């Protein structure tokens, strides 16, 4: 991208989400692939979609793959069901799914700590037919407080994310204000103050939100940022979102954290989906 200023600011730090990029490779090969593409940091959705408590051997193998690749794990989702897919979280779903989330809390936190990962993301969960939304919200707050305590135990923050209404019609947090209200509720209930907003610019744009205004209002409450272009959820430059400008606005409003690349590579190998970002900007400073 000629004349691009991507990554020229010292505080611009990009990582690669290995649950949406490099998925043409087996999980254990993805950290090395990200490193070969020039990145020094990665993030992950919970990789074991059918198991909140995988065997120690599986955890050990992924830990070794990350360590051997020489990359840092900077973000990890708690168990959230089948992603990508219809579940969109488990913590507000009464019954078995909520219990699976609780069983995962310490497993995920301990795995994150073993790799010096300092951000854990908890997807809220869909509304369920026949269940009072107030009951789901009470259960969500209870479980999010447990997650906040586990994150605090390992020196991490708890992230709460807004998704988008068109793709996640049963997910209740489909605006920045809705997600930030939950952040406030968790911080008040836990007394820890370690819950933060995960600002995914793709999801917010799909909701039709005023992104410059969202940034101005919530940059100081934001613990992580994720990007993809819109339409299409592709790499920057494949759609019409002014992502370079938006990240510049985030920096001006004081955000100096990670920017997760959470986009689809399209009909090409993931390794070829980073041509928009200069090689020197891929390594975290």
Q: Is 161 a catalytic residue?
A: yes
Beta bridge partners of 260: 15, 226
Sequence-distant contacts of 215-221: CB under 8 A, at least 24 apart: 215/246, 215/249, 215/250, 215/253, 215/255, 216/249, 216/253, 217/176, 218/176, 218/180, 219/249, 219/250, 219/253, 219/254, 219/255, 220/253, 220/254, 221/180, 221/183, 221/196, 221/197
Catalytically annotated residue among 43, 262, 272, 280 = 262
Q: Is 188 a catalytic residue?
A: no
Catalytically annotated residue among 96, 161, 167, 244 = 161
Mode of pairing for the β-strands spanning 13-17 and 72-77 = unpaired
Q: What angle do CA 255, 256, 260 make, to 5 degrees?
A: 95
Q: How far apart are the C-alpha atoms of 226 and 214, rounded to whole Å?
A: 14
Active site residues: 161, 262
């Amino acid at each position: 991208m000629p004349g691009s200023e991507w990554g020229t600011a010292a505080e611009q730090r990009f990582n690669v989400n290995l649950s949406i990029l490099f998925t043409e490779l087996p999980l254990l090969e993805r950290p090395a692939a990200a490193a070969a593409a020039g990145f020094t940091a990665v993030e992950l959705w919970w990789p074991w979609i059918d198991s909140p408590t995988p065997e120690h051997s599986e955890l050990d193998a992924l830990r070794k793959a990350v360590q051997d690749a020489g990359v840092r794990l900077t973000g990890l989702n708690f168990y959230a069901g089948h992603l990508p897919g219809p579940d969109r979280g488990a913590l507000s779903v009464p019954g078995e799914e909520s219990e699976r989330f609780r069983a995962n809390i310490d497993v995920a936190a301990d795995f994150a700590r073993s790799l010096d990962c300092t951000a854990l993301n908890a997807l809220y969960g869909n509304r369920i037919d026949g269940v009072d939304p107030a009951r789901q919200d009470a259960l969500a707050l209870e479980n999010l407080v447990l997650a906040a305590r586990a994150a605090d135990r390992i020196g991490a923050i708890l992230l709460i994310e807004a998704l988008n209404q068109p793709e996640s019609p049963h997910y209740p947090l489909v605006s920045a204000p809705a997600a930030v209200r939950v952040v406030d509720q968790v911080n008040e209930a836990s007394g820890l103050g370690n819950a933060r907003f995960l600002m995914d610019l793709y999801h917010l744009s799909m909701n039709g939100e005023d992104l410059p205004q969202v940034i101005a209002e919530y940059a100081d409450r934001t613990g992580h940022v994720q990007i993809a272009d819109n339409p299409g959820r592709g790499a920057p430059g494949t759609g019409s979102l002014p992502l370079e400008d938006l990240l510049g606005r985030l920096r001006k409003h004081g955000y100096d954290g990670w920017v997760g690349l959470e986009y689809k590579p399209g009909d090409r190998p993931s390794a070829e989906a980073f041509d928009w970002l200069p090689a020197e900007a891929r390594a975290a400073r």
